[in-house]
Amino acid sequence: MDRNASCFRAITAERGPFRRVILRVSMESTMHDHISRLLAARNHSLRTRFPSFIARCFETVNPGTEYLSNWHIDLIAEYLEATRRSEITRLIINMPPRSLKSVCVSVAWPAFLLGHDPAMRIMCASYAAGLALRHSLDTRLIMEEPWYRMAFPRTRIVPGENQKHKFVTTERGFRFATSVGGTATGEGGDVLVVDDPLSPMQAASRIRRESANRWFDQTFATRLNNKRDGRIVLVMQRLHADDLTGHLLAKGGWEQLLLPAIAESRTIIDFGDVHAIREPGDILHPGREGRELLERARRELGSFAFAAQYQQQPLPEGGGMVEPHWIGRYDAPFSGEGAITQSWDTAIKAGEAHDASACLTFCEQEGRHYLLDALTLKAEYPALKRAVLVQAERWQPECILMEDKASGQSLLQDLRRESALPLVAVMPRRDKVTRFAAVTALIEAGRLVLPRQAAWLAAFEAELFAFPNAPHDDMVDALSQYLGRVRGRGAGIGIRVL
């Protein structure tokens, strides 16, 4: 402190040109320190905040185009960060076209991975070789930018091993690009990325769909260096019930992030630092593609293709176990009186904290069962427990059905201790298809009544009419649970209870 004071007195004591030189040097030094601090803060943000890194990548590969941030990009970043930390090893992201899926997953993420670990080996594939190469060139462009080199000084591309389809770092990590159906002989990866394995035209061909699924199973997935800890990410718009997403979900073991363009039911998002609620009708990214543009896409594509590509709800050919003409209809809002029952299908389990849960609210009147509301949500245990309380407060049910297994068992115990809710534990028996088959007679007899219009109706019908071939069955499980109880007490159509 004394030395600094002495220096200051020496500077202020000088006169003439030498004093001006000293002051200028002092100001330049201060400005240099300020700039250094700003650069250090920027580099720290780029290294530690993946959403900031995505925004910088977008500006690099799309110069002159305005970057529009949105919560869904932050959510994708949270899922990819969880995957980078190996908290998730199998991830599927389903989202509409033109929603920055490729920039986030195929372009920015490999650069971010190699920035943190220059020895990382990454393999990326798309349905066309040209598309795969374009993503590879974009990643390489980012990694050669001065801002990237400042943020990640350890990561450098070897000049002699800098090709369009594969570039290698000084620590022998790389990004390798191939096409679906293409060769990957001799290559192995720590992270595998598949971005749009099929084009819409290819997805219309059963042969092309089966070929893509077989290539993934028998070729690409076998390229993992570590079968236990290696990570695989699939990002795509849904194109068919039997596309690669449907194929992998049927096998099980995958975490899915589902982002429809228009929310069809109330959805609670609670993952990492992202906390949001999508109300029915909410647009995914209104700043980029608003309702008018989405309705134009619906008209141009047709309802079937729009449901798949934009809503991520492809319907399988041939339907399922319920025929649409079996369903009764009522004009909303429902004005009748009757007993209110809620049926919860809670999918949260240890290690699977972000699977979907569903709550259906029914009103029984004169032997018919009116579905008043359908809620789906992905939430960790505390948020799920709050959702049960909120739904109960909203509808004041006389009975709340909940499966007495896994997370449902914990919810039943906690809620019975902390509240006076009319909870009824249900112990499921047999598999879900057999349970649903046992209640289809009630539906065929016209005892299930749905509204003619509701924001959540399309999502519910997509599950109901496609079951058991639909990729999701959370609401159908809640329906089976409710109708199983109705059937068990012999209500509705007087069928014999077995």
- Tens of pLDDT along 2-60? 544 444 444 444 444 444 555 555 566 676 676 777 788 888 888 889 999 999 999 99
Give the pLDDT confidence score for residue 349 in this predicted structure: 53
Give the pLDDT confidence score for residue 318 in this predicted structure: 52
Measured distance CA(398)–CA(388) in Å, rounded: 14
Domain boundaries defined on the chain: 2-47, 68-299, 315-488
Give the pLDDT confidence score for residue 29 in this predicted structure: 64
User: What does the pLDDT look like over 283-326, one tens digit per residue?
Assistant: 999 999 999 999 888 877 766 678 889 999 886 555 567 888 89
Measured distance CA(58)–CA(380) in Å, rounded: 31
Tell me which residue of 117, 164, 161, 159 sits closest to 139, measured CA to CA: 164
CATH architecture for segment(s) 68-299: 3-Layer(aba) Sandwich (3.40)
Tell me which residue of 424, 255, 278 sits closest to 349, measured CA to CA: 255
Residue 492 carries which DSSP code?
S
Which pTM value belongs to this model? Answer: 0.64
What 3-state class would DSSP assign to 94? strand
User: Which positions ≥6 away from 83 have C-beta within 8 Å?
Assistant: 89, 91, 231, 233
Task: Say if residues 376 and 260 touch (Cβ distance below 8 Å).
Answer: no
User: Which positions ≥6 away from 363 have C-beta within 8 Å?
Assistant: 334, 336, 337, 338, 339, 340, 369, 370, 372
Task: Say if residues 472 and 487 touch (Cβ distance below 8 Å).
Answer: no
- What are 74's two structure tokens? 């932050």
List phi, psi (to 5°) of 446: 80, 20
Give the pLDDT confidence score for residue 356 in this predicted structure: 81
Give the pLDDT confidence score for residue 88 in this predicted structure: 94
User: Which positions ≥6 away from 431 have C-beta within 8 Å?
Assistant: none
Tell me which residue of 139, 164, 144, 166 sits closest to 155, measured CA to CA: 144
Give the pLDDT confidence score for residue 333 in this predicted structure: 83
Give the pLDDT confidence score for residue 348 in this predicted structure: 63
Measured distance CA(370)–CA(332) in Å, rounded: 11
CA-angle at 220, arms to 256 and 51, nearest 5°: 45
CA-angle at 144, arms to 143 and 148, nearest 5°: 55
User: In terms of DSSP H, where are the helices of 14-145?
Assistant: 17-48, 50-61, 71-84, 101-102, 109-116, 129-143
Give the pLDDT confidence score for residue 332 in this predicted structure: 78
10-residue averages of pLDDT along the chain (498 residues):
47 47 58 74 88 94 92 95 94 93 95 96 94 95 94 93 90 94 82 93 85 93 89 94 91 92 89 90 92 85 78 71 88 86 80 70 94 91 92 96 85 93 89 82 91 89 84 90 86 30
Pick the CATH number of 315-488 from 1.25.50.10, 2.60.130.10, 3.30.420.240, 3.40.50.300: 3.30.420.240
Give the pLDDT confidence score for residue 317 in this predicted structure: 55
